[in-house]
Chain A
Amino acid sequence: MAGGGDKLKLLSTWFSPFGSRVQLALHLKGLSYEYVEEDLMNKSQLLLESNPVHKKVPVLFHRGKALCESMVIVDYIEEAFPDAGQPLLPSDPYKRAIARFWVAFMETKLVEPWMRMLDGTRTRAEMTEGVKQMLAAVATLEGALGQCSKGKPFFGGDSIGYVDVALGGLLVWVRASEVLLGVKFLDAARTPLLAAWSERFASLDAAKAALPDFGRVIKHAMMRRGAAAAVLAANN
């Protein structure tokens, strides 16, 4: 199933921001891997067997084992390949705790409200509330970037770190959400540090390799929204 030896295999979808996080980590570490595209509308045996609990991508295969959950996978890559590229986490345990704090914040305060809005069944009031929560989260992350970077280019300082990977993986989807929701999340006036950071991040080789095409994501999201709306209409 997973293939033996040291070869890395990543099961994901072209549009998954969580998959992008893993791809970013792999690229930044200079690790080569086989990529397998999953069809979430028709889940494969491989996915169902390797992630029976969540049945979700991404799943990373290494040495006959399956790793699930994007940031758990990023931690694994960091720990299993200590000599590959730069460490994503700082060596200082307190600074590590700070990095983990901001990733945990991102998951509950930015990603969760966003994912709830994506299923296409939210009321107008729920959407407004979701957008409000996301804007508040982005405002806090602007402060976090100032604190963590201390004037340097990234959350990780001079080089990309753990928080950069966690947020960077979401970048194209955040920009797509701006179009879909009609709200500017990364705004040069309100969040200047994050706006500059996102330009800088998007220009990295790893980002170009790991992040999906913006236009393609917009089209995909519109299609999904259309499908959800059609289901809603059919059920009413």
Chain B
Amino acid sequence: MAGGNVELKLVGQWASAFVTRVKLALHLKGLSYEIIEEDLRNKSELLLSSNPVHKAVPVLIHNGKPICESQIIVQYIDETLVGVGPSLLPADPYERAVARFWAAYIEDKLVAPWDRVFRVKTDEERGEEMKQMLAAVDVLEGGFKECSNGKCFFGGDCVGYVDVILGGAVSYAKANEAIFGAKLFDAAKTPLLAAWMERFCELDAAKAVLQDVDTVVKHGKFLVAKNSARASNN
């Protein structure tokens, strides 16, 4: 666990919510790193050799050793890299289990359909994935209540693991209405999550790292059009 000269490289891509999670964690910990921006249509040797199994971003390279999968990277940062601020995961084993449970829920029930929403070919499929996402947001509202215990973040008084895992997607959450016509965190339906999102955006780390929402809207609309067009050409 070296202080001093720590070599950190993040292989990433600006649009990726998974990469954003890692950037958030690094910023929250006050850790400096070199960002290597990938063109995912033309993957670099570095990416292919450091993540041969998935060939995906993010990859964190720490003193030459690659760590893959955003949640695993965030946990690695939390356990290994001496930075500033409290741990992202709590110390108590039960509270850690609760955080891990909700991080897994976000991954499987919110992020996975969300990813598919951009990739599927028909409006019908898109509608189905969106329905699943919105159902998950309802459940997550309860998750926030459970984790936060009346405080500001999933992590309580301070930003924690679940905040970072969900936080990576905040620009996409804000862009959802412009791209798909539905608010993701609607203050009328899920007031706790809507308030959390506003609070999260005020963090220095969020301001430093979150993508510009208009850029994400443009990018999202482009992806949807591209994948729908591909279908009509078959």
Q: Interface on A for B, CB 8 Å cutoff?
A: 53, 62-63, 65, 67-69, 72-73, 75-76, 79-80, 93-94, 96-97, 100-101, 104-105, 140
Measured CB to CB, the closest approach of chain A to B104, in angstroms, equals 6
Question: Main SS of the interface on chain A?
Answer: helix
Whether the Cβ atoms of B93 and A97 lie closer than 8 Å is: no
List residues of B (14-49) whose CB comes within 8 Å of A's CBs.
Answer: none
Whether the Cβ atoms of B72 and A100 lie closer than 8 Å is: yes
Measured CB to CB, the closest approach of chain B to A130, in angstroms, equals 17
Tell me the bound Cα distance from A62 to B93 in angstroms.
11
Whether the Cβ atoms of B93 and A80 lie closer than 8 Å is: yes
Measured CB to CB, the closest approach of chain A to B6, in angstroms, equals 13
Minimum-distance CB pairs A-B, first 6: A79-B93, A80-B93, A93-B80, A76-B97, A72-B100, A97-B76
Whether the Cβ atoms of B79 and A93 lie closer than 8 Å is: yes
Whether the Cβ atoms of B101 and A68 lie closer than 8 Å is: yes
**List of A residues within 8 angstroms of B73 by Cβ:** 97
**List of A residues within 8 angstroms of B196 by Cβ:** none
Tell me the bound Cα distance from A62 to B67 in angstroms.
33
| Set A63, A65, A101: member contacting B69, Cβ < 8 A | A101
B65 interfacial contact with A, CB 8 Å: yes
Tell me the bound Cα distance from A212 to B173 in angstroms.
44
Tell me the bound Cα distance from A72 to B100 in angstroms.
6
Interface string of B84-98 (1 = CB under 8 A from A): 000000000110110
Whether the Cβ atoms of A69 and B75 lie closer than 8 Å is: no
B53 interfacial contact with A, CB 8 Å: yes
Q: Interface on B for A, CB 8 Å cutoff?
A: 53, 62, 65, 67-69, 71-73, 75-76, 79-80, 93-94, 96-97, 100-101, 104-105, 139, 142-143
24 contacts between A and B (CB under 8 A): A53-B142, A53-B143, A63-B94, A65-B94, A68-B101, A69-B100, A69-B104, A72-B100, A73-B97, A76-B94, A76-B97, A79-B93, A79-B96, A80-B93, A94-B62, A94-B65, A97-B72, A97-B73, A97-B76, A100-B75, A101-B69, A104-B69, A105-B53, A140-B53
Whether the Cβ atoms of B75 and A97 lie closer than 8 Å is: yes
Q: A53-B143, A97-B67, A97-B72 are in contact. List 5 more A-B contacts (CB 8 A).
A: A72-B100, A79-B93, A80-B93, A80-B94, A101-B67
Measured CB to CB, the closest approach of chain B to A92, in angstroms, equals 9
Measured CB to CB, the closest approach of chain A to B63, in angstroms, equals 9
**List of A residues within 8 angstroms of B76 by Cβ:** 93-94, 96-97
Query: Which residue on B lies nearest to A93, using beta carbons?
Result: B80
**List of B residues within 8 angstroms of A100 by Cβ:** 69, 72, 75
Query: Which residue on A lies nearest to B60, using beta carbons?
Result: A97
**List of A residues within 8 angstroms of B62 by Cβ:** 94
Tell me the bound Cα distance from A95 to B72 in angstroms.
11
**List of A residues within 8 angstroms of B142 by Cβ:** 53
Known: A63-B94, A72-B97, A100-B75. A94 touches B67 (CB 8 A): yes
Query: Which residue on A lies nearest to B72, using beta carbons?
Result: A100
Tell me the bound Cα distance from A96 to B195 in angstroms.
35
Query: Which residue on A lies nearest to B136, using beta carbons?
Result: A53
Whether the Cβ atoms of A72 and B101 lie closer than 8 Å is: yes
Tell me the bound Cα distance from A69 to B143 in angstroms.
15
